[in-house]
């Protein structure tokens, strides 16, 4: 249900985001071809992806960049413990270019889940990252790091990648 609510919110704000992105490019003196003002996007969803101890990739969003530029990738979701974590744990969520990476980035998210018999048993996250993109196939991965030695979570998430030929000045 949370993912469906998110989808409807994305449908309402996406035209605004795309409009702002196109508007920001339209007046640039560095743009010589109107076709380079194109802004594109793609989304992906996952429900009840299993995440255990260590780094787990729960969602991959593949897209084709029409030219060199930038992809703004955002993810939001929830995780619920279905097998208790052994201790209260802070989990990290990151958007990466590799399914096993856990590099520190400014748009990372942290959330906490309780240990055996402790609250909270559910956590929400929002993560974002801007990635340089070269023309052709790209993949952004949503990775969750559970540093504890056990536990199992079901995670649901939505990712969106918005591509533009340049960033705002």
pLDDT for 38 = 65
Q: Quote the CA–CA distance of 50 and 164 in Å, as a whole number.
A: 32
Portion of the chain with pLDDT greater than 70, in percent: 78
Assign 13 a pLDDT band (cuts: 50, 70, 90).
very low
Q: How does pLDDT run across 17-41, given as a tens digit for each residue?
A: 443 333 333 333 223 233 445 678 9
Angle at 111 between CA 116 and CA 9, to 5 degrees: 125
pTM: 0.76
The model's confidence at residue 144, banded by pLDDT at 50, 70 and 90, is very high
Share of the chain above pLDDT 90, in %: 51
69-117 pLDDT, tens digit per residue, is 999 999 999 999 888 888 888 999 999 999 998 888 888 999 988 877 7
CA dist 12 and 2 (Å) reads 16
Q: Where are the domains of the chain?
A: 2-27+37-164
- Tally of CA atoms within 13 A in the half-sphere of 126 that contains its CB: 1
| Cα 49 to Cα 100: distance, rounded to the nearest angstrom | 16
Domain 2-27+37-164 has CATH 3.90.1150.10: no
Instruction: Please tell me the predicted confidence (pLDDT) of residue 116.
Output: 77
- Per-residue pLDDT tens for 53-62? 899 999 999 9
């Amino acid at each position: 249900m949370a993912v469906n609510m998110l989808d409807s919110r994305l449908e309402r704000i996406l035209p605004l985001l795309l409009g702002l992105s196109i508007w920001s490019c339209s007046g640039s003196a560095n743009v010589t071809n109107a076709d380079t003002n194109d802004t594109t996007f793609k989304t992906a969803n996952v429900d009840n992806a299993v995440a255990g101890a260590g780094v787990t990739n729960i969602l991959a969003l593949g897209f084709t960049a029409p030219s060199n530029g930038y992809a703004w990738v955002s993810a939001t979701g929830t995780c619920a413990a279905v097998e208790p974590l052994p201790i209260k744990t802070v989990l990290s969520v990151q958007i990466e270019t590799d399914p096993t990476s856990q590099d520190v980035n400014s748009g990372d998210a942290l959330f906490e889940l309780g240990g055996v018999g402790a609250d909270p048993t559910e956590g929400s996250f929002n993560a974002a990252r801007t990635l340089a993109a070269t023309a052709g196939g790209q993949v952004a991965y949503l990775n969750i790091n559970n540093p504890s030695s056990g536990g199992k979570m079901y995670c649901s998430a939505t990712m969106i990648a918005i591509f533009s030929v340049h960033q705002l000045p």
